[in-house]
Every structure is written in structure tokens, then in C-alpha cells.
Amino acid sequence: MGLRLTGDETAVWAAAARVLDANWTGTATVPSPGLYPHQWSWDSSFVSLGLARHRPDRARIELLSVFRGQWETGLVPHIVFSSSVSRSAYFPGPEFWRSRAQPGAPRGVETSGLSQPPLQALAALRLAQGPGEHGPFLARLYPQLAAQHAYLSRERDVAGLGLVSLCHPWESGLENSPAWDRPLEAVEPLISPYARGGGVDRADADRHVSLVRSMREAGYRSEYLRDDHPFVVEDPLFNAVFLASTHALAEVASLAGADPAPHREEAQRIHEALLERLWDRETCCFRARDVRTGQLIPAATISGFAPLLDPDLPPAIVGGLAELLLSARFAGATGYPVPTCDVQSAAFDRGAYWRGPTWVNTNWLVWLGALTHRLDAVSDLLLGSTLRLVRQSGFRECFDPFDGTGRGSHDYSWSAALVLDLLASRRCT
């Protein structure tokens, strides 16, 4: 692998590589055996970051395969269903989403009708920066990435002020985050067989399903989202990832022989809107905004640190975020940082999925943001504590932030993949 790792890190590397090998289906990687038997969009990007360090040929296949599900609008759906898995293996499955009935959905593969944080361009660029010949891969991928980004800015900027709006908590990737509690109150639940083990409240799960039914009945049209849909929020994590990926897309455009300028201009617009719409001067953190009420949502969550991915974030804001992150509300209070919710808030729950537990993917995003701003204390802390978590508890879905106990599914692909990327980052240290 060409890296200088310690004996113990070599064992962690081998264990992570085994997880990715076992979860590989031949064309893509499932998030975990059993619980998540299809391809999820942002999981797939995280996985490709790890595969780039382990099997770059598969990393390219992984990234391209998610675009099999791309709609004519440019939407990259958050789930691409596998036809070799029983139709009832996951709820809501293809029968619920009914993508086949949508004229703009792809033929030959069934999908959901929502997005997830658009990490693909960032993942593609990091892959292209590794060894090997990437020209044909980038030439094929670039138009698909450009269409994905154009869809998000054209059809999903519901407020018309430069940020993407989420129309479902699942689009955030952090589905039971306390940030969604208030906007969900406006949604009528729909009793369904969907029940999550990880701590998603029953009534909220029914609201999640109800939102999908409303979107499906409206043909997933952006006019419906803009005018009638009850759940419309601007999220710092989604938009920070969109911004980082838009910067990456400009680089990919150059490498693919296309014009990077429109992507640079778009990045500037997102940067300005992120500060204007989601930075809360009073409390010194980024918060989600409920577009329907116009209000910032009070919850302080891990999502608020994702804007560290913005290379142009003003130094005073970077400093404020680092201080909050290291404080007794987040990393400073826990042995296994970073908890996904402010530990001092009433909504914090150490065992409930995105309401407290530590996740490898959010640690990785904050780690990358810390590297972007040379916050060495933060990036070193996150690298060390993430490795400590998987050494102690394996590649679990998430972890108790106080004692590091693993929670959720085992052999979770992005936990393994991102550990490979973290270890590889230690090259020549």
C-alpha cells in the first residue's frame, strides 16, 4: 500500500479493506450487509474515497454506478435499488417510490426520488488526484456531475436565495437530527411499516413516509416543492458539501477540458448565501433555516461545523467554530468526539443515531474542514479519536460518544472506507 503505518494501523487497514471487499456487489458497495441492501448515494461517495486508497478501479466503478439512477432533471437519487434483492427487503422500497411511473426517471433501474449531500464531485476529484490515468473516467463523469449540480441550483433553491432546500430529513443524511423536530411538526404522519431500530421516533418515521407519499403524488415536481410541500429547510451540511463539491467540479471541468468558470461563479454564490442565510452571529454557529417559517432552527448540531469545508470562510468564523467544537458542548465533553448534537441541549441522546452518537463520516467531514483551515489541533484530535473508535468497537454504524460502544449495524462500509482515507493521509508522516 506504500504507506508508513505502525503495526497496529496495518491491522486496522487490513480489517477495513476486508469490510469493503465483503460489501462489494460487483458494481457497487452496499452500506452494510442486511440492513441496507441497496446503493445509497452519499454512502457510495464515501466508499469511493476509501476504495481510491485500496482498489482505485473499483472506486471509479462505484462512482459511475450511482449515476445509473440519474433522472433526466439531473437528480441523483439517494437510493438506487438493486434488482437482485427481494422487493420487500427494505422499506420504503421500489414499490413505494414508484420511480417507474415517472417519465423523467431512468429506465431499467428503480430509484428513490430524493437527493443526499452531493459529495460525488469532491470524491471524483480526490480519486483523480491519485495515481493512474483518469482522463476517460472524468470525461464520462463530468457531464453527469454538471447535470447533478445544475439540478440542485435550478430546481432545489426553493427560497431563490442561493442555497439548496431539503424537502425531506432523509435528504440531509442525518434523518433524526433534532434540527428537523420543529419543521416536522407541520407534517401529518402516515401510518406505515417503516420502523427504524436506531432511535427514530415512531411518529417521525410516519411523517417521513408521509412526506414521500406527498412528493410521489406530485410527481416529484419542483413546482410542488416550491409552492405546497410542508417540509422545506436549508441545511448547513448539505450546502457546505455542495459548495466543496462545486469547487471540486471546477477542477474536474478543467481536467476534462471543459470551462471551469461557471462552477467557480456558482461556488462564490453558495459561499455568500451560506454566510448570509445560515450563520447565526448571536450564537456563533451555523444553523438550519426553516424556509416555511423563515426562522433559523435553534438546534446546534454537527451539521453546523460542515461549513469548515468552505475554503473562503472568514478567519473569525473559523476560530469561533473551532472554539465551539472543542468546548464542553461538543468534543470537550466526550471521550470519543464528535457527538452529533450539543451534549448540553435537551434533545441530546447518546444512543439515538443522529441525536448524539459519533459517526465516522461526520468526523471525516469535519476533519477535512479542519485540514482546509490548518486547524491542526482539531484534525489531529479527529484522526486519533476516529481510529480509537474503530480499534475498540469495529466498523460500526455509529458510536456512543462517551464510552465508544458501537451501535447500529456492523461492518458499515463508510466507517471502513473513511478509515482507509484517514490512514492514507498519514503518508510519510
Summarize as ranges the residues that interact with ligand GLC (CB under 6 A): 31, 36, 40, 42-43, 173, 175
Q: Which is nearer to ligand GLC, 78 or 247 (CB)?
A: 78
Q: Which is nearer to ligand GLC, 31 or 304 (CB)?
A: 31
> Cβ 40 to ligand GLC, closest distance in Å?
4
Question: Is residue 381 packed enough to be buried (19+ CB in 10 Å), middle (13-18) or exposed (0-12)?
Answer: buried
Q: Which is nearer to ligand GLC, 42 or 364 (CB)?
A: 42
Residue sitting closest to ligand GLC (CB)? 31
Distances (CA, A) of 184 to 179, 210, 222, 266, 303: 9, 11, 20, 30, 18
**Phi/psi-derived region of residue 25, left when phi > 0, alpha when psi is between -120 and 50, beta in every other case:** alpha
Q: How many CB atoms are closer than 10 A to CB 315?
A: 8
> Cβ 352 to ligand GLC, closest distance in Å?
12
Where are the strands (E) in 44-144, listed by range? 79-80
Distances (CA, A) of 17 to 13, 385, 423: 6, 20, 12
Rounded to whole angstroms, how far apart are CA atoms 326 and 31? 30
Q: Which is nearer to ligand GLC, 37 or 162 (CB)?
A: 37
> Cβ 175 to ligand GLC, closest distance in Å?
5
Q: Which is nearer to ligand GLC, 90 or 142 (CB)?
A: 90
The DSSP code sequence of 121-169 is HHHHHHHHTSSS--HHHHHHHHHHHHHHHHHHHHHS-TTSSSSPPBSSH
> Cβ 320 to ligand GLC, closest distance in Å?
27
Is 40 strand, coil or helix? Answer: strand
Q: Which is nearer to ligand GLC, 40 or 305 (CB)?
A: 40
163 grid coordinates: 442555497
Rounded to whole angstroms, how far apart are CA atoms 290 and 180? 9
Four-CA torsion 196, 197, 203, 205, nearest 10 degrees: -10
> Cβ 54 to ligand GLC, closest distance in Å?
19
> Cβ 45 to ligand GLC, closest distance in Å?
10
Q: Which is nearer to ligand GLC, 13 or 42 (CB)?
A: 42
Q: Which is nearer to ligand GLC, 34 or 143 (CB)?
A: 34
> Cβ 299 to ligand GLC, closest distance in Å?
17
The DSSP code sequence of 304-356 is GGGGGG-TT--HHHHHHHHHHHHSTTTGGG-SS---SB-TTSTT--TTSGGGS
* Strand 285-286 to 79-80 pairing: unpaired
Is 233 strand, coil or helix? Answer: strand
Residue with cell 454564490: 269
Q: Which is nearer to ligand GLC, 386 or 413 (CB)?
A: 413
> Cβ 300 to ligand GLC, closest distance in Å?
19
> Cβ 195 to ligand GLC, closest distance in Å?
13
